[in-house]
Amino acid sequence: MIGGTLDNCQRLFDRRNRPAWVVLLVCLSLTLVTWYGLRVQAMKSAEQQFELHVRDVVYSIEERLRQLSIPARIVAIADIVEALTAPPTDPTANPAR
């Protein structure tokens, strides 16, 4: 059985199979390069979409603040600052304890 396995390995890496190995390595390399390029492109696209969304949210907040009266603006801004600077809460924590 071991001799048969050795013969199979020798046949697999035989000189006549070198073109097949070269084709396999070239195709794998092209696949990896293409995958990496698409991954980078997807990350850039996601980042651009995120930045656009952030701009929309900031614009909406600013527009809403413009519509409020001066005292209401101060309270709203204080609430926003407090929300942004508050430590994160643990959603799994039980407040009854």
pLDDT tens-digit series, residues 26-73: 999 999 999 999 999 999 999 999 999 999 999 998 888 788 788 887
pLDDT given for residue 93 in this prediction: 64
Q: Is 68 left (phi over 0), alpha (psi -120 to 50) or beta?
A: beta
Tell me how far the alpha carbon of residue 3 is from its chain's centroid: 49
Distance CA 33, CA 95 (A): 51
- pLDDT at position 97: 47
User: What is the SS3 assignment for the chain?
Assistant: CHHHHHHHHHHHCCHHHHHHHHHHHHHHHHHHHHHHHHHHHHHHHHHHHHHHHHHHHHHHHHHHHHHCCHHHHHHHHHHHHHHHHCCCCCCCCCCCC
Model confidence at 10, pLDDT cuts 50, 70, 90, reads confident
According to the model, what pLDDT value does residue 71 have?
Answer: 82
Distance CA 42, CA 36 (A): 10
Q: Which has more confidence, 15 or 94? A: 15
Q: What percent of the chain has pLDDT over 70?
A: 87
| Residue-wise pLDDT tens digits, 35-48 | 999 999 999 999 99
* pLDDT mean across residues, the chain: 85
According to the model, what pLDDT value does residue 42 have? 98
